[in-house]
Amino acid sequence: GENNILDILIKNGSVFSGNNNEPESNNIGIKNSKIDFIGKESPESKKVIDAKDYIVTPGFIDIHTHSDISFLVDPEADSKLTQGVTFEFLGNCGMSFCAPLNSASKQTLSDRLSKYDSDVNIDWNDFTDWLNKIERNIPSINLAAQLGHGVLRSYVMGMKAVSATPEDIEAMRNIVRSSIDQGVLGFSTGLWYAPGSYSHTEEIVEITKVVAEHDLLYSSHIRSESDDASGLFPAHAEAIEIGRRTGAKIQISHVKSVGPQFWGRGNELLEGMYKAREEGIDVAGDQYPYEWSSTPTSGCMFPRWSLEGGREKTLERLKDKNIRETIKSETINYINRFHGSAGCVLAEFSNDKKLEGLNLSEISEEFSCSPEEAAMRLYEISEGSFVLHSMEEQDVDTIGMSDIIAVASDGNSLRNTGPLSNGKPHPRSYGTNTRFIEDMVVNKKKVSISNAIYRMTSLPASRIGLKNRGEIKKGYFADINIFKPEELKEKATYVDPHQYSTGMKWVLVNGKIALKDGKKIEGRFGKVVRSKEG
The alpha carbons of the chain give a radius of gyration, in whole angstroms, of 23
Contact 213, 219 (CB under 8 A): no
Q: Give the number of other Cβ atoms within 10 Å of residue 173's Cβ.
A: 16
Q: Give pLDDT, residue 2.
A: 67
Distance CA(5)–CA(43), nearest Å, equals 8
> CA-to-CA distance for 458 and 470, rounded, in angstroms?
5
Residues 440/453, Cβ–Cβ less than 8 Å: no
Specify whether the CB–CB gap between 288 and 410 falls below 8 A: yes
Distance CA 223, CA 203 (A): 14
Q: Give the burial class of 99: count Cβ atoms within 10 A of its Cβ; 0-12 exposed, 13-18 middle, 19 or more buried.
A: buried
Neighbours of 322 (CB within 10 A): 8
pLDDT score for 490? 98
Dist. CA 213–CA 246, nearest whole Å: 9
Closest C-alpha among 456, 500, 512, 516 to residue 87: 456
CB 479 within 8 A of CB 509: yes
| pLDDT above 90: residue 54 | yes
pLDDT at position 518 is 86
Residues 393-417, mean pLDDT to the nearest whole number: 97
What pLDDT was estimated at residue 129?
A: 98
Residue 245 pLDDT grade (very low, low, confident, very high; cuts 50, 70, 90)? very high
Q: How many CB atoms lie within 10 A of CB 497?
A: 25
* Residue-level pLDDT at 98: 98
User: What mean pLDDT value characterizes the chain?
Assistant: 96
Q: DSSP 3-state assignment of 135?
A: helix
Distance separating alpha carbons of residues 488 and 116, to the nearest angstrom: 30
Long-range CB contact pairs, 159-167, < 8 A, 24+: 159/194, 159/195, 159/308, 159/309, 159/310, 160/195, 160/198, 160/308, 160/309, 161/194, 161/195, 161/198, 161/305, 161/308, 161/309, 162/198, 163/198, 163/199, 163/200, 163/203, 164/199, 164/200, 164/203
How many CA within 13 A on the CB side of residue 364? 17
- φ, ψ dihedrals at 482, nearest 5°: -130, 120
User: Average pLDDT in the 58-78 region?
Assistant: 98
Distance, in Å, from the CA atom of 456 to the CA atom of 470, rounded to the nearest integer, reads: 8
| DSSP H helical ranges for 138-200 | 149-157, 166-181
345-376 in b/e burial notation, b at 16+ Cβ within 10 A?
bbbbbeeeeebbbbbbbbbbeeeeebbbebbb
pLDDT per residue as tens digits for the range 283-305? 999 999 999 999 999 999 999 89
- Average pLDDT, stretch 339-359? 95
Question: In 114-216, where do the E strands start and end?
Answer: 142-144, 147-148, 186-190
Residue percentage of the chain with pLDDT more than 70: 100
Q: Which residues contact 209 (CB under 8 A, 6 or more apart)?
A: 173, 246, 248
Checking 116-119 for CB contacts under 8 A at 24+ apart, the result is 116/69, 116/73, 116/419, 116/420, 116/422, 117/419, 118/72, 118/73, 118/419
Nearest to 275 by CA among 243, 253, 248, 246: 243
Lowest mean per-residue pLDDT among 205-214, 240-249, 303-312, 370-379: 303-312
State the average pLDDT over residues 130-135: 98
Provide the CB-side half-sphere exposure for 140 (13 A, CA).
27
**Residue 20's CB: how many other CB atoms inside 10 A?**
17
Please give the pLDDT value at position 495: 86
Close Cβ partners of 335 (under 8 Å, ≥ 6 residues apart)? 301, 341, 344, 360, 371, 372, 375
Give residues with Cβ within 8 angstroms of 445, minimum separation 6.
none
- CA pseudo-torsion sign 331, 336, 339, 341: positive
Give the pLDDT confidence score for residue 118 in this predicted structure.
82
**Alpha-carbon span 19 to 58, nearest angstrom:** 10
pLDDT in tens, 160-191: 999 999 999 999 999 999 999 999 999 999 99
Q: DSSP readout, 461-498?
A: HHHHT-SSSSS--TTSB--EEEE-GGG-B----SSS--
What one-letter code names the amino acid at 93? Answer: C
Q: What is the DSSP letter of 164?
A: P
Could you tell me if 480 and 513 are in contact, meaning their C-beta atoms sit under 8 angstroms apart? Answer: no
346 phi and psi, to 5 degrees? -70, 120
For residue 263, the one-letter residue type is: W
Say how far residue 44 (Cα) sits from the centre of its chain: 40
Chain CA centroid to CA 175, Å: 23
pLDDT value at position 513?
Answer: 98
**Is residue 1 very low, low, confident or very high in pLDDT (cuts 50, 70, 90)?**
low
Identify whether the C-beta of residue 404 lies closer than 8 Å to the C-beta of residue 252: no
